[in-house]
Amino acid sequence: MRIPPRITRIGASVAVLSALLIGGTVAAPTASAAVGSICYSKLPSQAYDTLKLIDKGGPFPYSQDGVVFQNREGVLPSQSSGYYHEYTVKTPGESTRGARRIVTGKKTNEDYYTADHYVTFNLINFGC
């Protein structure tokens, strides 16, 4: 199995887990309880396609892909404008963009998946 290039993004998650396991402290995240976690292997196959396109820098199938995600819902951790960008995850049988997206954070290279159009997000865990 090929390890995706984004696997390097798990470093911070491993550090947090290590600190928790050995009794260290970790600053609490600012995200709402609506942010969960999802294993890379549990994503729909179309999400893999989207992640590959993000790594390559496109071309993207929709003109809205790559635009700034405003986080108006306030579900993701609060960041400055321009921090997050959104990308469409195609939904089979859907004639529009559908509800599935990947939202990326540029500084710490986190990737979030939403299947319900920004109601809930799951941080993608590339280590499982």
Catalytic residues: 86, 117
The DSSP string of 9-70 is GGHHHHHHHHHHHTT---PPP-S-TTEEEEEGGGS-HHHHHHHHHHHHT---SSTTTTPEE-
Give Dmax (Cα) for the chain. Answer: 50
Q: Give the pairing type, strands 35-39 and 121-125.
A: parallel
Q: Is 112 helix (H, G, I), strand (E, B) or coil?
A: strand
Confirm if 30 and 76 have CB atoms less than 8 A apart: no
